Amino acid sequence: MNKLYLSAFADEYADDFTAQCSALKTFGFNSIEVRGVNGKNVSTLSLEEIENVKAVVDSYGLTVSSIGSPIGKIKLDGDLCGHFEMAERVFKYANVLGAKNVRIFSFYLADGETRESSKQKVIECLEKLLKLAESYGVTLCHENEALIYGESPESCLELLEYFGGKLKCVLDMGNFVLDGYNPYDAYLKLYDYIEYFHIKDALYEGAIVPAGKGEAQIKEILDDYRAKNSSVTITLEPHLQTFSGLNALVGKSFDNPYKYENQQLAFEDAVKCLKELL
């Protein structure tokens, strides 16, 4: 039987970081992917705040599987110097937290630019990030997401192949569905570069739903991966809808059958559905 490492973006359960860790411990998770801490993005925290994060994580017997950073979520004509400074701060924090992975993205195109005209700039920026990350001993894991350079499976593969394995993949099956791609085909294309998975399910109509309730083929993908590997790390990222507002990632008009009174109930159901699927 292979080893399964369960992590989560617990800022979807609560803003308070202690409450996040307490919930994950109760739900039987091993790890946390740190993103939001007490209402702030991890990239904006002070060193003292990060040291407090480490103390809380340790007190609950958890580990930090990755930092869910916003690195690469900026237009190519934005303040890249400031962005690289933020990235280096995140890499330092990864060392403090004992996280070997940092989630990143591959930049938004500048207005009026095409993928082809932006390709070299994207590669140069990623190359700079990879060299910086290497100096801190952390691995950069690219997530597929809408509108960035690496949105499609083919674009992700292009980047991963270019860097010859130095850049890894965090596969988000739900994002591929939301962007109109077949998630299992994407999995097969990107298989050799997968470091871990983000677990988010979705319907092609545009709704995010609990794991196993959508069309992201999560069970099929994880079953295949687990059959071929000694260990697998997954981060639960539910992004489920509450009655207080529309889903943050989806702008389409669709009557989502899965709505919840609050984020705690949404997260609890996401955990329940994930465990049933596993």
The pLDDT, as a whole number, for residue 1 is 64
The CA distances from residue 52 to 37, 47, 243, in Å, are 10, 9, 33
pTM of the model: 0.95
What is residue 72's predicted lDDT score, i.e. its pLDDT? 98
The predicted structure's pLDDT at residue 244: 59
Answer whether 70's CB lies under 8 Å from 87's CB: no
- Residue whose token pair is 């889903």: 247
User: Is 168:157 a contact under the CB 8 Å cutoff?
Assistant: no
Beta strand 63-68 with 40-41: parallel, antiparallel or unpaired?
A: unpaired
Backbone phi and psi for residue 227, each to the nearest 5 degrees, phi listed first:
-70, -20
The β-bridge relationship of strands 3-8 and 231-236 is parallel
Per-residue pLDDT at 20 = 98
> Could you list the pLDDT tens digit for every one of the 278 residues in the chain?
689 999 999 999 999 999 999 999 999 999 999 999 999 999 999 999 999 999 999 999 999 999 999 999 999 999 999 999 999 999 999 999 999 999 999 999 999 999 999 999 999 999 999 999 999 999 999 999 999 999 999 999 999 999 999 999 999 999 999 999 999 999 999 999 999 999 999 999 989 999 999 999 999 999 999 999 999 999 999 999 886 554 545 555 667 889 899 999 999 999 999 999 99
73 HSE (CA, 13 A, CB side):
12
Ordered structural domains, the chain, with CATH:
3-277 (3.20.20.150)
* Count of C-beta atoms within a 10 Å radius of residue 98: 12
Helix crossing, 183-190 with 218-228: angle to 10°?
20
Cβ atoms < 10 Å from Cβ of 259: 15
- In 3D space, the residue among 72, 10, 60 whose CA is nearest the CA of residue 35 turns out to be 10
Question: How many CB atoms are located within 10 Å of the residue 255 CB?
Answer: 7
Give the sign of the dihedral formed by CA 272, CA 24, CA 19, CA 66: negative
Rounded distance between C-alpha atoms, residue 143 and residue 33, angstroms: 14
- 26 token code pair: 């109760």
Kindly tell me the sign of the dihedral angle through the C-alpha atoms of 215, 219, 223, 226: positive
